[in-house]
Amino acid sequence: MQQQTVSVKTHDLSRHALDWAVAKCLGKDLAQLTDFSPSYNWCQAGPIIEEAYISIGFARYAPLDSAVWDAIIPHKNSYILEYGSTPLVAAMRAYVSCKLGNMVEVPEELL
């Protein structure tokens, strides 16, 4: 049976879908993701943040109804900016956006 996928905007990814997308960016075996949770585990996210030069800060200019943190990552000759409810959510969204773009196909069961 073929796995159903759903197209999701990167800035809407959260929890398991966000962790799955980060794993995809890293080339991890997507069928073996049991303890991979960089969207809330600093030990797992830290090396990604450091390697990708992600800058995290308090989002003073973010929409008030959704986010309080932002993350900026260098990309080509510009930057990618993403927001999140936590520093790690913002950082991992920025990482996924940089690697996979603004839309990501994720397994439906992760949403």
Distance (Å, rounded) from C-alpha 16 to C-alpha 21?
9
Is the pLDDT at 93 greater than 90? The verdict is: yes
Q: What are the pLDDT digits (tens) for 15-51?
A: 999 999 999 999 998 888 889 999 999 999 999 999 9
The model's confidence at residue 96, banded by pLDDT at 50, 70 and 90, is: very high
Least confident of 8-12, 53-57, 61-65, 81-85: 61-65
Greatest Cα pair distance in the chain: 46
Position 34 in a domain: no
Q: What residues does 105 pair with on adjacent strands?
A: 7
DSSP run (H or E) holding 73: strand 69-75
Position 94 in a domain: yes
User: How far, in Å, are 21, 27, 58 from residue 104 at the CA level?
Assistant: 8, 15, 26
Position 33 in a domain: no
User: What DSSP line would sit under 16-54, residue for residue?
Assistant: HHHHHHHHHHHT--GGG-SS--TTT-HHHHHHHHHHHT-
Is the pLDDT at 61 greater than 80? The verdict is: no
User: Is the full-model pTM beyond 0.85?
Assistant: yes
Is the pLDDT at 1 greater than 60? The verdict is: no
Fill in the amino acid letter for 2.
Answer: Q
Query: What integer best gives the mean pLDDT of the chain?
Result: 92
Long-range contacts of 31-38 (CB under 8 A, 24+ apart): 38/88, 38/92
Confidence at residue 62, expressed as pLDDT on a 0 to 100 scale = 62
Count up the domains in the chain and report the number.
Answer: 1
Position 101 in a domain: yes
Position 65 in a domain: yes
Domain harbouring 75, CATH code = 3.30.2120
Fill in the amino acid letter for 19.
Answer: D
Parent domain of 75: 5-28+39-110
Position 43 in a domain: yes
Confidence at residue 88, expressed as pLDDT on a 0 to 100 scale = 98
